[in-house]
A = this chain, B = another copy of it.
Amino acid sequence: MISRARLTSVLREQSASKAAMIAGRLPLFGDMEFGGVPMSFDRNAEIYGEGESADYVYRVISGSVRAYKVLNDGRRQITAFYLPGDVFGIESGAEHSNSAEAIDKATILVVRRSSVFSTAENNGDVARYLWSATAAELKRSQNHALLLIKTAKERIAAFLLEMAGRLAGQSCVELPMSRQDIADYLGLTIETVSRTLTQLSERSTIQFLGSRRIVLRNPSQLRALNA
Contact = CB atoms under 8 A, between A and B. Distances in A.
A136 B91 CA distance: 10
Contacts of A121: 124
Contacts of A72: 227
A132 interface: yes
A14 interface: no
Interface in A96-119: 97-98
Contact of A77 (B131, B134, B146): B146
A97 B145 contact: no
Nearest to A70: B146
Give the contact-size bracket for chain A.
Answer: 35 or more
A146 B92 contact: no
A148 interface: yes
B92 A145 contact: no
A93 to B, nearest CB: 7
B227 A135 contact: no
Contacts of A137: 138
Nearest to A135: B92
Nearest to A139: B97
A202 interface: no
Contacts of A162: none
Interface centre among A77, A93, A130 (most CB of B within 10 A): A77
A18 interface: no
Contacts of A187: 148-149
A130 B132 contact: no
A71 interface: yes
Interface string A36-65: 000000000000000000000000000000
Given A124-B121, A127-B127, A134-B134, A145 B150 contact: no
A150 to B, nearest CB: 7
A54 B97 CA distance: 27
A92 B72 CA distance: 34
A75 interface: yes
Q: What 10 A-B pairs have minimum CB-CB distances, sorted nearest first? A: A92-B135, A148-B148, A141-B141, A131-B131, A71-B227, A138-B138, A149-B187, A92-B132, A134-B134, A145-B145
